[in-house]
């Protein structure tokens, strides 16, 4: 229980996506997609809402959305689902956003252009994992679920909304038969390594991402999570 009332976590609806996109861009601005703006991120969140492998959860307090979690129960299947059905819409929105952001467009072409182009054209497989090949020890089990983004609005932090969102996600993955969830977080104050370590996530690797920042990969088996 927090000063502003009880936190409730549940599935997001279409009406929540303006708020989840705004929170994502404001509080997790790293990476390409948030830099493409709220309109693009809203479409990305909607694609997760529609995909059978996507998960969008919100934390509400007094009816207001104060946090969200974006994830997938099976990363390759989710990306394939989204590209199979939303490729044109996302490409158009992404290109439109890049046209109004020339500096971002240049950086995009330099660091990610060929890889994204191959994937969008269907000529490259989506890697199963969140880190690149060789960054993290491989294990021979099934699909990898990924916690892609989690944000709690600054005024609602410290009231266990983040914990409730991630626990709900892990129980969804476990119910879907998943035995491994991974995520990537920036090292240092721009990431949330301490938040995940408190909840039992194990650091399995570190590397430098495409923006030149050190990032850590964390992993957890959702079937053995201790809840509060
Ligand atoms: C990370 C975040 C989602 C946590 O949400 P929250 O609702 O404040 O988390 P909780 O209240 O459930 O906190 C649980 C515990 O983790 C700790 N914690 C929370 N955020 C932390 C952080 N960034 N680093 C280290 N520890 C953190 C809390 O102090 C608390 O510890 P306690 O159990 O000893 O009291 C929130 O701080 C946030 O939105 N940060 C900005 C976006 C971000 O970094 N997202 C993760 C990117 S991968």
Helix/strand number for the chain, H first, E second: 8, 7
Determine the distance separating the centroid of ligand 1 and the alpha carbon of 189, expressed in angstroms.
11
Please name the residue whose Cα sits nearest to atom 17 of ligand 1: 195
Please name the residue whose Cα sits nearest to atom 19 of ligand 1: 195
Distance (Å) of CA 118 to CA 30, 36, 87, 111, 137: 23, 20, 13, 14, 26
Tell me how far apart the alpha carbons of residues 56 and 9 are, in angstroms, rounded to a whole number. Answer: 11
Cα angle 43-44-49, degrees, rounded to a multiple of 5 = 90
Beta strands 54-61; 145-152: pairing state: unpaired
Higher pLDDT, 209 or 210: 209
pLDDT digits 0-9 by tens, 171-188: 999 999 999 999 999 999
pLDDT at 1 over 50: no
Q: Is the CB of 30 under 6 A from ligand 1?
A: no
**Mean pLDDT value across residues 118-142:** 62
Domain extents in the chain: 7-224
Residue 1, burial from CB neighbour count under 10 angstroms (0-12, 13-18, 19+): exposed
Q: What is the pTM of this model?
A: 0.89
Determine the distance separating the centroid of ligand 1 and the alpha carbon of 183, expressed in angstroms.
15
Residue 192 alpha carbon, nearest atom of ligand 1: 23
Per-residue HEC secondary structure of 33-62 comes to: HHHCCHHHHHHHHHHHHHCCCEEEEEEEEC
Determine the distance separating the centroid of ligand 1 and the alpha carbon of 125, expressed in angstroms.
33
Distance (Å) of CA 213 to CA 32, 121, 124, 218: 13, 28, 25, 16
pLDDT at 62: 92
Helices marked H in 160-217 — which ranges? 161-175, 193-198
**Do 182 and 170 touch, CB atoms closer than 8 A?**
no
Residue 152 alpha carbon, nearest atom of ligand 1: 39
Tell me how far apart the alpha carbons of residues 34 and 38 are, in angstroms, rounded to a whole number. Answer: 7
pLDDT at 151 over 50: yes
pLDDT at 124 over 90: no
* Helix or strand holding residue 217 (H, E): strand 214-220
**Mean pLDDT value across residues 105-124:** 73
> What residues pair up with 211 in beta bridges, in sequence order?
none
Fold of 7-224: Aminopeptidase (3.40.630)
Residue 145, burial from CB neighbour count under 10 angstroms (0-12, 13-18, 19+): buried
pLDDT digits 0-9 by tens, 89-114: 999 999 899 889 988 888 877 777 77
Grouping H, G, I as helix, E, B as strand and the rest as coil, residue 191 is coil
Name the token pair of 201. 């996530």
Grouping H, G, I as helix, E, B as strand and the rest as coil, residue 71 is strand
DSSP states of 147-164? EEEEEE-GGGTTSSHHHH
Q: Is the CB of 27 under 6 A from ligand 1?
A: yes
On average, the pLDDT of the chain sits at 89
């Amino acid at each position: 229980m927090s000063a502003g009332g009880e936190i409730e976590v549940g599935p997001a609806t279409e009406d929540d996506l303006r708020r989840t996109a705004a929170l994502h861009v404001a509080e997790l601005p790293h990476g390409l997609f948030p830099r493409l703006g709220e309109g693009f991120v809203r479409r990305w969140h909607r694609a997760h809402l529609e995909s059978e492998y996507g998960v969008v959860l919100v934390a509400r307090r007094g009816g207001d959305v104060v946090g969200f979690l974006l994830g997938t129960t099976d990363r390759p299947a989710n990306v394939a689902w989204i590209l199979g059905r939303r490729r044109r819409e996302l490409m158009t929105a992404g290109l439109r956003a890049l046209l109004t952001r020339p500096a971002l467009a240049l950086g995009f072409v330099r660091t990610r252009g060929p890889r994204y182009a191959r994937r969008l054209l269907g000529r490259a497989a989506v890697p199963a994992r969140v880190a690149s090949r060789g960054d993290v020890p491989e294990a021979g089990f099934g699909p990898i679920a990924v916690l892609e983004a989690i944000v709690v609005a600054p005024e609602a932090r410290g009231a266990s909304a983040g914990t409730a969102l991630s626990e709900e996600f892990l129980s969804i993955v476990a119910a879907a038969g998943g035995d491994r969830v991974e995520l990537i977080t920036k090292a240092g104050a721009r990431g949330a390594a301490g938040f995940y370590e408190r909840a039992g996530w194990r650091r399995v690797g570190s590397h430098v991402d495409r923006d030149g920042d050190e990032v850590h990969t964390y992993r957890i088996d959702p079937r053995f999570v201790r809840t509060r």
